[in-house]
Amino acid sequence: MTLADARDGDAAFEANRVAGNAAYDRERFVEATARYTECVEALEKRLGSAEGEGTARRACAIRANRAACFVKRGKHALAMEDASWVIARPLEAGAGILAKALYRRARAHEGVGDVEAALADLRAAEKIDPHDALIQSALNNFTSVFHIAVVLDRASPEVLARQPAWRNFKPETRP
C-alpha cells in the first residue's frame, strides 16, 4: 500500500464514518449500516499492515456502531457478532468502546429473549463504566417483572433451554 493509497483510504473511511454517524442520528439505520460496513471493509484491508494499533481501535469503534444499527434494525445475531468481535479485543477497543459493545450485545440478547446473557453483559459493562446512564437504565429495566416477561416472551425454546432459572418464570413470581 502506498502513502497515496493510505491517504485516499483514510479520506474514504472518514467520509463514510461521518455519513454513517449522521444517518444514525437521523434514524436511517439501513444507510448507517451500509456506511459502517464500507468502513469495516476498508479497515480490514489495513489491519495486518504497518498502521496497526490505530486501525484496530477504529475497527472496534465502527463495529460497535454497526452493532447499534443492527440492534435498531432487529438483526440481533449480526449485532451480537459485531459486538463480540469488539469484546474479544479489549485492549484495542479501550474501556469506553468495550462498555458500548457490551451494552449493545446485551440489547441484542434482550431482542432474542436471553435474560441471563443480557444481564451478564450489562453487569460487565457496568463494571467498566458504572456511571453510564444507558447501562444503568437497562439494568434498572430488569428490576421490572413486566420487562423480564416481555424479554422472555421473545425467547425461542432453544434460548429458554439455556436459561434454567427463567424457564418457568411467571410474571407474578421472581426466581
Mean pLDDT for 52-66 is 87
In this structure, of 4-13, 66-75, 130-139, the range with the lowest mean pLDDT score is: 4-13
Does pLDDT of 161 surpass 50? yes
Q: Helices (H), strands (E): how many in the chain?
A: 9, 0
pTM listed for this prediction: 0.89
- List pLDDT tens digits, range 5-55: 445 567 888 999 999 999 999 999 999 999 999 999 888 777 655 455 578
Q: What pLDDT band is residue 154 in, cutting at 50, 70 and 90? A: very high
Options 1.10.760.10, 1.25.40.10, 1.10.10.60, 1.10.3720.10; which CATH number does 3-161 get? 1.25.40.10
pLDDT of residue 3 exceeding 60, the answer is no
Q: What is the pLDDT at residue 56?
A: 87
Average pLDDT over residues 158-175: 78
The residue ranges of every structural domain in the chain are 3-161
In this prediction, residue 121 carries a pLDDT of 98
What tens digit of pLDDT does each residue of 74-123 get? Answer: 999 999 999 999 999 999 999 999 999 999 999 999 999 999 999 999 99
Torsion of CA 18, 21, 26, 30, to 10 degrees: 100
Cα separation, 149 vs 157, whole angstroms: 15
